[in-house]
Structure 1
């Protein structure tokens, strides 16, 4: 029984260490992307200005997602999963607007 508990504890520690490694890598990449936020926000504004009328609402949703990312870049795997979900919703809205 003690060996089982120790083995489970060791597996839990390894899993936690893996998550922390992943989280630090996500934070590193997130820092690099957030350094480009001003450029990306300018590009998103240009898309909003020059997009056809039926695509503008979806383009604004994309701006919202980008603003959320730039305001609080994901630092952990959980934050990244939420950001990816928001991005997918924005892309689906853009595609739906194009079909129209």
Structure 2
């Protein structure tokens, strides 16, 4: 995803968060970036936490869980249970954002 596409996606998602009555804090932005950078695929809360922690070292696992719950409520993310483990993915068709899928060759 190009820088311009990522910025546009993040702006669209930020508006959706604000319309839901919340602010886009640094921690929430770091979590959002994990999904924007990933593009497609499922992530567990722990994977999101470890990836976001690289960018924002002060983030806590409880913040990740609360934010994931909030993003699911706002329909930014979809929660899917696989082998009794919750996994999360972006729902671009729900939020009106186009997120290109990265091929394994890139």
Is TM more than 0.5 here? no
Normalising by structure 2, we get a TM-score of 0.29
Larger radius of gyration: 1
* The structure with more strand, counted as a fraction of residues: 2
Normalising by structure 1, we get a TM-score of 0.30
* The structure with more helix, counted as a fraction of residues: 1
